[in-house]
A and B are shown apart, each in its own frame.
Chain A
Amino acid sequence: MLITVYRYNHEDDFSYKMQEYNIDVSKCNGVMLLDALIYIKDNLDESLTFRRSCGEGVCGSDAMNINGVNGLACITPLNKFNDKVVLRPLPGMPVIRDLVVDMTAFYNHYRRIKPFLQNDESVSYNAEMLQSKDDRKKLDGLYECILCASCSSFCPSYWWNPDRFLGPAAALQALRFVNDSRDNKTVERLSYLDDKYNIFSCRSIRNCMYVCPKGLDPSKAIAELRIKMLNNNI
């Protein structure tokens, strides 16, 4: 299989190059794209750089652009490719080295939506706060996000306004806390979103939903947030 990888190290050169590796995939220790990258690093080129951790699609480390589409290398099977694959770092984010990008801005957007439960009531640890099954169900499709950034870095609106648009991932989490029956800052949360960019930069292109490795739909979450703003007269 011919694997072509974007290479960049500012210590060597300020421009990137595309490097080709021809490998026998039967020698990899597994059937996923990540196994091929590890094979290259272990046997052909120690300097090839990428992030990885869990290897099973739950930690979100190894998001990258695979044949033009964002996804996780560890759950992308090699047999999906027709003997050729081109790998680039996540688009729209500064490259640190090879497939490793600087995700600081992405994490800062997440931080902006106050991604933690806010509840003013006095707290006692003798019992749980009750939550009905139906209320808990409102968190499904939201809390499962792994912050891999596949969505935000594949969103044209995010490319256009990376500093002011929350991006699909942070917006999804905004809804996760708005929807939590145990959180009592709903109005404050929705009011925060009320500007031209935070969620209104979204043009419903739906790339986010298309690439999400966990099958989540941030685009729909943004639509729901807008409706909730209307319903709360914001």
Chain B
Amino acid sequence: MKLIPEHSFDAIIIGAGGAGMRASLQLSRRGFNVALVSKVFPTRSHTVSAQGGITAALGNVDNDNWLWHMFDTVKGSDYIGDQDCIEYMCKNASEVVYELEHMGMPFSRLDNGKIYQRPFGGQSKNFGKDGQATRTSAAADRTGHALLHTLYQQNLKSNTVFFNEWYTLDLVKTDNGNIVGVVAVCMETGELSFLKGKCVILATGGCGQIFKSTTNAIINTGDGLGMVLRAGFSVQDIEMWQFHPTGISGSGVLVTEGCRGEGGYLVNANGERFMERYAPNSKDLASRDVVARSISLEIREGRGCGKNKDHVHLKLDHLGEDVIKTFLPGVRDLSITFADVDPIKNSIPVVPTCHYMMGGIPTNKFGQVICLDDNGIEKIVSGLYAVGECACVSVHGANRLGGNSLLDLVVFGRAAGEHFINNHSDINESLVKDSDVEFSARRFFDWNNKKGEHTVSEIRSELKNIMQEDFGVFRTGSVMANGLKKLFKLRDKMKNTFLSDKSLSYNMARIEALELDNLISVSVTVAIAANKRTESRGAHSREDYPNRDDDNWIKHILVNSDDKVSYRPVNVTPSTVDPFKPTVRKY
């Protein structure tokens, strides 16, 4: 008798944010039987928090060209983004935005009725030669909310099967390495199920909860990365973490780069618009890594604002009430709620805050997960895709441009769905053993049986402190080496951690324990990769290696759960243009 009941689908999608729901939509519209598994009701996914917009060279406001978008993205990635994938994303950007509009997404509009676009950081015209571009499409400053709700609505229309508030424990892998489904637990009842599918598409989002101060939702715990690591595969570029320049000081709540796109700017304690010094051309619309570092330097050199001199000010009051109320209403609400500041009258206190995971599960441009065999040769993991923030395609490289994350979700969510439609094959049933399924359920029972003296929250809080202090905006070899040691110790301490609440009914304590497994696995890989990369590139800024080292480090770092490091080359073979060669990155 099977211990765990089985439900069969064509495809199992884990995560109901923008990427997961775009993938499920592609499949369910074509009549495939799709299970969409999410630990929260779909519209509670973190995509909902995205504010500023989705970038595509629509050219609604100004001349534009998707190749310029591609150039900016390659430059933004500090030249370790894969150029074939960046090409694919930028080339398809306009089409996916028009699709979203046709689905009913409530974009803001221009006078001529076309989709509204605003300038965003790191954007240029004519390959950096003709100044700032205006390329980011927006629904006021609630673009993520508008996008996520629209995709949920379309999935309702196309009869996707939702497993809302089901938590996925692990992938089910056969002896020959194929992925044939997952084991998931229904949070309401605590019952386990084997959800079997011809493929699993991971769309579990980021892992910003490894940092103490983050703009990420509490649910962003790297669950997909944990699953992939436990299945014996690697994560890629995981040392690359974006610190968003403008998190509200104290709470970490995000205010969009769109504030600066609309004409806002940063000032230090002296009232100086300091970005003019660091990025004479782009100023406040330089790339996020550049702006975040500049703010950190201002604070470090004593020019921070407030009585603790620990933040800078984002000035919007000169934009006028109309612009703020029409295009930045959400930011105004957040600022009033979390900083007690109305940006119509006063400046918002902001500080760089952990925001986005550029690394993740390595994939090709179809979302197929890539692993290295024993000889270091690349191969595709059969039956497994990853899309969205949990994936590393890699289109963001060492630094993501604003507006490219929502784009990444829909372009590659759609691509993975489309690839499955054209390439799927039936599961070889004889290979799926009950013991494989039971193995994937083990964490559930392990946590019930664990004994010890430490609580989940205690370990988690230690973890966040280590990551925040040792792997932040500025990094140093000795500090990081020590940080890694502390993480290894913490990983041992985890064995001594127990769960007091063993109820089956909506047990959030158990979910948090299961999430902690993922947080710690991901943190260790971050620390290993960050120690390994002995240069400064994009968001990875080392004080002991302040320069970019193109001779040795134009490559991806991979780390697996045995703490083993390997490398992959960066793709420089786009099909329509000559590759963009690394040059000094100035804004």
Quick check: A127 and B112 within 8 Å, CB to CB?
A: no
From 148 to 204 in chain B, residues with beta carbon under 8 angstroms from any chain A beta carbon are 149, 153-154, 156-157, 188
Residues of A within 8 A of B139 (CB): 143
Quick check: B101 and A47 within 8 Å, CB to CB?
A: no
Quick check: B508 and A49 within 8 Å, CB to CB?
A: yes
Q: What is the chain A residue whose CB lies nearest that of B115?
A: A128
Cα-based distance from A105 to B121 in the complex (angstroms): 43
- Cross-chain contact of B505 among A61, A96, A146 (Cβ < 8 A): A96
Residues of B within 8 A of A17 (CB): none
Quick check: A144 and B145 within 8 Å, CB to CB?
A: yes
Quick check: A58 and B48 within 8 Å, CB to CB?
A: yes
**Chain A facing B: main interface SS:** loop
Instruction: Tell me, yes or no, whether B488 is within 8 Å of chain A by CB.
Output: no
9 shortest interchain CB distances as A-B pairs: A117-B104, A130-B113, A42-B457, A116-B153, A97-B506, A59-B44, A47-B501, A128-B101, A46-B509
Quick check: B109 and A131 within 8 Å, CB to CB?
A: yes
Cα-based distance from A12 to B333 in the complex (angstroms): 41
Which residues of A line the B interface, CB within 8 A?
9-12, 30-31, 41-43, 46-47, 49-61, 75, 77, 96-98, 100, 102-103, 107, 111, 114-117, 119, 123, 125-133, 136, 139, 143-144, 146-147, 177, 180, 182-183
Quick check: B109 and A132 within 8 Å, CB to CB?
A: yes
Quick check: B109 and A123 within 8 Å, CB to CB?
A: no
Instruction: Tell me, yes or no, whether B337 is within 8 Å of chain A by CB.
Output: yes
- Contacts across chains A and B counted by CB atoms under 8 Å: 157
Residues of B within 8 A of A96 (CB): 188, 505-506
- Cross-chain contact of A42 among B45, B156, B254, B461 (Cβ < 8 A): B461
Quick check: B108 and A143 within 8 Å, CB to CB?
A: no
For B39-67 the 0/1 string (1 means CB < 8 A from A) is 01101111011000000001000000000
Residues of B within 8 A of A132 (CB): 109, 113
Residues of B within 8 A of A59 (CB): 40, 43-46, 48-49, 217
Q: In angstroms, how far is the closest chain A Cβ from the Cβ of B91?
A: 13
Quick check: B506 and A61 within 8 Å, CB to CB?
A: no
Interface centre among B106, B154, B253 (most CB of A within 10 A): B106
Interface centre among A56, A117, A130, A146 (most CB of B within 10 A): A56
Residues of A within 8 A of B479 (CB): none
Quick check: B104 and A116 within 8 Å, CB to CB?
A: yes
Quick check: B102 and A125 within 8 Å, CB to CB?
A: yes
Cα-based distance from A144 to B142 in the complex (angstroms): 8
Quick check: B455 and A53 within 8 Å, CB to CB?
A: no
Interface centre among B337, B456, B504 (most CB of A within 10 A): B337
Cα-based distance from A144 to B108 in the complex (angstroms): 13
Instruction: Tell me, yes or no, whether B3 is within 8 Å of chain A by CB.
Output: no
Instruction: Tell me, yes or no, whether B218 is within 8 Å of chain A by CB.
Output: yes
Quick check: A117 and B99 within 8 Å, CB to CB?
A: no
From 244 to 279 in chain B, residues with beta carbon under 8 angstroms from any chain A beta carbon are 250-251, 253-254
Q: In angstroms, how far is the closest chain A Cβ from the Cβ of B246?
A: 14
Residues of A within 8 A of B112 (CB): 130
Instruction: Tell me, yes or no, whether B297 is within 8 Å of chain A by CB.
Output: no
Given A59-B217, A126-B98, A128-B115, also A103-B253 (CB < 8 A) = no
Residues of B within 8 A of A136 (CB): 106-109
Cα-based distance from A107 to B42 in the complex (angstroms): 11
Quick check: A129 and B101 within 8 Å, CB to CB?
A: yes
Residues of A within 8 A of B393 (CB): none
Residues of A within 8 A of B106 (CB): 136, 139, 143, 180
Quick check: A54 and B109 within 8 Å, CB to CB?
A: no
Q: What is the chain B residue whose CB lies nearest that of A12?
A: B503
Cα-based distance from A126 to B97 in the complex (angstroms): 10
Instruction: Provide 28 A-B residue pairs closer than 8 Å at the C-beta atoms, listed in order of the A residue.
Output: A11-B504, A41-B457, A41-B509, A42-B461, A46-B455, A46-B456, A50-B508, A53-B44, A53-B218, A54-B46, A54-B49, A55-B218, A57-B334, A58-B48, A58-B145, A59-B44, A59-B217, A75-B337, A107-B41, A117-B103, A128-B98, A131-B113, A132-B109, A133-B113, A143-B106, A143-B149, A146-B48, A182-B104
